[in-house]
Amino acid sequence: MADKKNVVQLPQPSAAEVEFAQQLVERAKADGVSLVGPGGLLAGITRTVLESALDAELDAHLDEAGVDESTGRRTNIRNGHGAKTVQTEVGPVRIQVPRDRAGSFTPRIVPKHVRRLDGFNEAILSLYAKGLTTGEIAAHLADVYDADVSRELISRVTDNVVQEMEAWRQRPLDRIYPVVFIDALVMKIRQGQVANRPVYVVVGISLDGERDVLGMWAGTGGEGAKQWAGYLTELRNRGVEDVFMVCSDGLKGMTDAIEQVWPQAVHQQCVVHLVRASLRYTNRKDWQKITPALREIYTAPPSRLRRPGSRRSPRSSVTSTPPSSGSGAPLGRSSCRSWTTTMRSARSSTPPTSSRA
């Protein structure tokens, strides 16, 4: 299956915004102010934005408190500011947090007792995911952001994510999924040393038409029926009792594992990979003739499929090439015939999908 990366389209800045940014940069250069680091241009902008947002948040809180009808005065008013330093993606920023007289204001933008904004933790996790050690991350943050971050703090941040990930992996699942997709992503994983390893991702389409990531496992690339049966059994133990169709590449042992865990499920191999595997048994010069012939087969309804001995077979147009005998592994119930028979009913019964967090 093709690995498609989701590209996030950022909003294009307006001409006024671009001009304003250029003016800020020119002014910073004229004043000898750096762009990043403590006292830099980005830190100053971040401070202004955070303080303005906190003031607006307190105004909304005071409006909710209302006015005393007997006196006509607000029941709660401002009560100065408190200084606080927070770690952000542009470095440490010193901000003034507004306070209220009643002490009931709990800011959400910069919560109480929080010294690191979410973006800073995401920066740590991003560096950790790329294979850097805790010491390398601490040195990088000190060089780029002038932030004093200990190895213990980095370990706490990453450990929290591991705990949340484990809870997500053990969550209960739906009882039935009409369609389940299994594919692999190649990622850099640190285990002693950083190496490229496949991460197998299982995505299910629920009865409501929502896409749900059911599980992820880091593999070695040499998985067989035993390992696949273990992964699928884990999904069954979490509540998945029945699956109508499992779509995957021609992974070794996958068909046997599916028949063991969900005996009634149809294993539909990726048609693109089946076609490519079939072309390995043919001469390259005949590919332009064979590929449309194969497409005619796997897109035809069952009633129109031709059998050997019929008036004309798509394969008859190529006489100098041995017949394509498959992908090198027995297809069985995962043959292209399952694509034409079961996929039609799956398309008619499965509603449009949407992502589920």
118-129 helix and 134-145 helix, angle to the nearest 10 degrees: 130
Residue 164 pLDDT: 75
Residue 259 pLDDT: 92
- Residue 246: CB atoms within 10 Å: 25
Q: How far is CA 41 from CA 38, 103, 108, 169, in A?
A: 9, 33, 25, 42
Reply yes or no on whether the pLDDT at 356 is more than 70: no
319-336 pLDDT per residue, tens: 444 544 444 444 444 444
HEC secondary structure over 80-104: EEEEEEEEECCEEEEEEEEEECCCC
Q: Taking residues 188-214, report their average pLDDT.
A: 86
Reply yes or no on whether the pLDDT at 31 is more than 70: no
Q: How confident is the model at residue 153 (pLDDT cuts 50, 70, 90)?
A: low
Give the mean pLDDT of the chain: 75
Q: Where are the beta strands (DSSP E) in 221-341?
A: 242-248, 266-269
101-151 pLDDT per residue, tens: 999 998 877 888 888 776 766 776 677 666 677 777 777 666 655 566 677
For the structural domain made of 176-281+325-355, what CATH number should be given? 3.30.420
Measured over the CA atoms of residue 107, residue 108, residue 109 and residue 113, the dihedral's sign is positive
Q: What is the pTM of this model?
A: 0.52
Between 3 and 185, name the one with better pLDDT. Answer: 185
Q: How confident is the model at residue 235 (pLDDT cuts 50, 70, 90)?
A: very high
Domain(s) labelled CATH 3.30.420 in the chain stretch across 176-281+325-355
Q: How confident is the model at residue 63 (pLDDT cuts 50, 70, 90)?
A: confident
Lowest mean pLDDT, pick from 85-99, 113-127, 179-193: 113-127
Residue whose pair of structure tokens reads 């780029």 in the numeric block: 144
Tokens of 269: 């191999």
Q: How far is CA 278 from CA 149, 271, 293, 341, in A?
A: 55, 10, 12, 21
